[in-house]
Amino acid sequence: MSVAANSRLDNRYMEALGPIRPLVEDDSLTEIMVNGPEMVYVERKGKILLTDIRFDDEAHLMRVIDTIVSSVGRRVDARTPLCDARLLDGSRVNACIPPVALDGPLLTIRKFSKDPYQVSDLIGFGTITQEGASFVQACVLARANIIVSGGTGTGKTTLLNVCSGFIPIDERIITIEDAAELQLHQEHVCRLESRPPDVNGEGRVNIRDLVVNSLRMRPDRIVIGECRSGEALDMLQAMNTGHDGSMTTIHANSARETLSRLETLVLMAGMDLPLKAIRQQVASAINLIIQLARLKDGSRKIVSVTEVVGMEGDTITMQEIFKFESRGADPATGKIVGDFSSTGIRPKIIDRLFDMGVPLPPRLAQLFPDRRQLQQEALMAAAGRQMGNGAAQPAQPPPGFGGPPGLGLPPSMPPGMGMPPVGPGGSRGR
């Protein structure tokens, strides 16, 4: 299809969106919430605002919903009143219509930037610092298995997209999502999307089926949009069987809750596994948990970067590498202020970075120096001190020379050839 034909198709699609078209085109909005034909809310800078936009009637709103849903091969009707879809630009869409929606059709659009956010944008927003971003990038390059966790609307997909951007361009990436939202800049990307059942209730392809199938596609990296069911078991098995560097998101309020939720999701796979076996799988598969939070002022921040260390008994042990500490709100602006800094704990994954030759930025190299390099430098310094001390001391004479008579032999004289002992009166025995 030509560029002109694509442009005409996009124009017709945008015109079919009706009164919400200017909202979809407004890059300053992050959410569009339609509560029936007469109430349209938007989210701007973390705050929810009521607009003056109205639909003609419920039929008008239903036509807009049907346009959005049918354009990606989905359907919504009285038999299937719930639907997940996406706009042509990748923005996430959820539609809910009568009879389950009592006060009229509901439409929720989670907008994504036309130009995907880069790590520099997150640093500019205050979501993460340069040191924290450098550490996450180094972990991605070192093929660490990463989980991005947080509540609803905290920016998990955005951060997952940024982390996926750190993957080298020469690796084969498989993305698996309910609604395709990730926008990767690499060329070798295979995008898979789940499929709902048809009118007869057949043909459903869920996330778990796609995860199992992706293992046969020779992936270097597997990126799952969100784990919310039994696919967590297959994901953990993939991470434990050579598919390092995989990433996903999960709904949880803390790193510890992330592990508990993973255990619950694995049990949803229908396998009667003992809890200790599940925890062993989790502890050996997951390397890093990045926790996001949405603060009171509407800002989204990474509040914790935690490393999974291993197991002690039946408990999974973790250590926090970076942490956000709030210092309250600015009286003038109401913005939450705080510091995102290192806790001073050395992460175990740093040794993997040095083994793989992944360069660390100077700031991180100062925070987490290579132990082996430090030991080598200490040995070299000790050897230098010993050489310095040896040069300062006077040279010792060889054994048998320069010492009291009769106390040693020259090094070239064999044993038994020394001078005979001195007898009485100073004469030597014969």
Residue 320 has pLDDT above 50, yes or no: yes
Min mean pLDDT across 68-77, 135-144, 195-204, 239-248 is at 195-204
Average pLDDT, integer, range 392-400: 49
Q: Does the pLDDT value for residue 226 go beyond 60?
A: yes
Contacts for 224 with CB less than 8 Å, ≥ 6 apart = 175, 176, 177, 207, 211, 231, 235, 246, 247, 248, 249
Question: Which pLDDT belongs to residue 372?
Answer: 66
Contact indicator for 137, 159 with CB cutoff of 8 Å: no
Q: Answer yes or no: is pLDDT of 401 > 70.
A: no
Q: Which residues of 105-116 are buried (b: 16+ CB within 10 A; e: fewer)?
A: bbbebbbbeeeb
pLDDT band at 373 (very low <50, low <70, confident <90, very high): low
Of 75-84, 200-209, 421-430, the poorest mean pLDDT is in 421-430
* Run of H or E including 202: none
The strand pair at 173-177 and 221-224 is best described as: parallel
Tell me how crowded residue 413 is: count the other CB atoms within 10 A of its CB: 13
Around 57, how many Cα atoms within 13 Å sit in the side-chain half-sphere?
1
Percent of the chain with pLDDT over 90: 40
Helix and strand numbers (H, E) in the chain are 13, 15
Segment 237-252 shows an average pLDDT of 90
Q: How far apart are CA 115 and CA 74, in angstroms?
A: 26
DSSP 396-425: PPPTTSSS-TTS---TTSPTT-SPPPB-GG
Question: Does pLDDT of 399 surpass 70?
Answer: no
Q: What percent of the chain stands above pLDDT 70?
A: 87
pLDDT at 64: 93
- Across the range 323-334, mean pLDDT stands at 85
Least confident residue range of 219-228, 324-333, 359-368: 359-368
Q: For the whole model, what pTM was predicted?
A: 0.76
Left if phi > 0, otherwise alpha if psi is -120 to 50, otherwise beta: which for 197?
beta
**Across residues 241-246, what is the average pLDDT?**
87
Q: Above 90 in pLDDT, residue 318? A: yes
* Model confidence band, residue 145 (pLDDT cutoffs 50, 70, 90): very high
Report, as an integer, the average pLDDT of 139-163. Answer: 91
**Amino acid identity of 97?**
I
Can you name the residues that pair with 326 across neighbouring β-strands? 338
For the ranges 13-27, 294-308, 371-385, which has the lowest average pLDDT? 371-385
pLDDT, residue 163, reads: 92
Tell me the pLDDT tens digit for each residue of 181-191.
888 888 899 99
* Cα 175 from Cα 214, distance rounded (Å): 9
Give the pLDDT band (50/70/90) at residue 100.
Answer: very high
74 and 86 in contact (C-beta within 8 Å)?
Answer: no
Average pLDDT over residues 108-135: 87
As a whole number, mean pLDDT of residues 64-76 equals 89
Average pLDDT, integer, range 25-40: 91
Peptide bond into 405 cis (omega under 30): no
Q: Residue 17 gets which letter from DSSP?
A: T
As a whole number of Å, the end-to-end CA separation of the chain is: 118
Mean pLDDT over all residues of the chain? 83
pLDDT at 427 over 80: no
Q: What is the pLDDT of residue 5?
A: 47
Alpha-carbon distance of 24 to 110, in angstroms, equals 10
By C-alpha distance, which of 91, 124, 108 is closest to 25?
Answer: 91
**Strands of 221-224's sheet in order across:** 189-193, 173-177, 221-224, 247-251, 146-150, 288-294, 300-312, 315-329, 336-342
d(CA 322, CA 131): 9
